[in-house]
Structure 1
Amino acid sequence: MEGSIFTKIIRGDIPCHKIYEDEKTFAFLDIHPVQEGMTLVVTKTPAETVLDLGDEDYAALWSAVRVVAQRLREVYADRRRIAIQVEGLDVPHVHVKLFPIDTGEQFRSAPDMSAEPDHQQLARVAEKLRIDG
């Protein structure tokens, strides 16, 4: 099975700006962020929704979300909240989006998917956010 775009990113077939990785999860910057620092946390085990995950993968996902959210809170200490959004409509692979916000409008903003990703800026952000371990 070829897998989703996230499976290809995890395998290294598609480059990304990785923030964090452990045995069961992988976190990387969204190339079309709603806010600077917008990060996707995905499971290495393919599943369409969080409800399709086994207990270990489910727990690992939320543990990784917490680790990444804490790092976002450290780096973006001037922001009021770290938004957490569970989605899966566009890519049928469990993923949680995290991004620093100050207002509800920022949470509901839509990214410009037609814009060319600024990989230099994404690399700078990834360097600030990277979690070793």
Structure 2
Amino acid sequence: MNSLASCIFCKIVKGEIPCMKLLETESVLAFMDIGPIAKGHCLIIPKYHAEKLTDLPEDQMKDILPACKKIATATRADNFNLLQNNGRAAHQVVDHVHFHIIPKPSDAGDKEGLVIGWPTQKDLSKDEISKIFEELKSRL
């Protein structure tokens, strides 16, 4: 777990580590990913240090999706993924909320961009899904 002092993204926000800055607002910074999985792979981060999306105060979220949209539009990619991971089991490597814009060329197949499977939980019945729905709804 990264502490605030050792967080690579916080160091980028503070200017201690250089980045290829694309966009900056009062609360958000967007820059090129230095370990891209596609041409044009970019990161959008809140300047506020929070490990997971659920840790990020709502007042720090207002610029995130508009920045993602601007960056995605600037890539001119017809196809792209907007990815945000939370926790090691979900493939989060840097313990600071961040969003990936990953262009996916139509002809790339598994050679460029995000490659995923979609393991549909076919053994969940409608009744089980309905029960989960009711539990989630009660927590909102």
Provide the TM-score with structure 1 as the length reference: 0.70
Taking the TM superposition and a 5 Å limit, the aligned residue runs for 1:1-133 are 1-73=4-76, 79-88=77-86, 89-102=92-105, 105=110, 106-108=113-115
Q: Percent identity?
A: 31
2:123 alignment partner in structure 1? none
Structure 1 unmatched ranges of 5 or more: 74-78, 110-133
Deviation at 1:24, TM superposition (A): 0.3
Deviation at 1:3, TM superposition (A): 4.2
Structure 2 unmatched ranges of 5 or more: 87-91, 117-140
Number of residue pairs aligned between Structure 1 and Structure 2: 104
More strand by share: 1
**CA distance in structure 2 between the aligned counterparts of 1:54 and 1:87, rounded to whole angstroms:** 17
SS of 2:63's equivalent in the other structure is helix
Deviation at 1:56, TM superposition (A): 2.1
CA RMSD of aligned residues (A): 1.8
| Bigger CA radius of gyration | 2
Higher RCO, 1 vs 2 (CA within 8 Å, ≥6 residues apart): 1
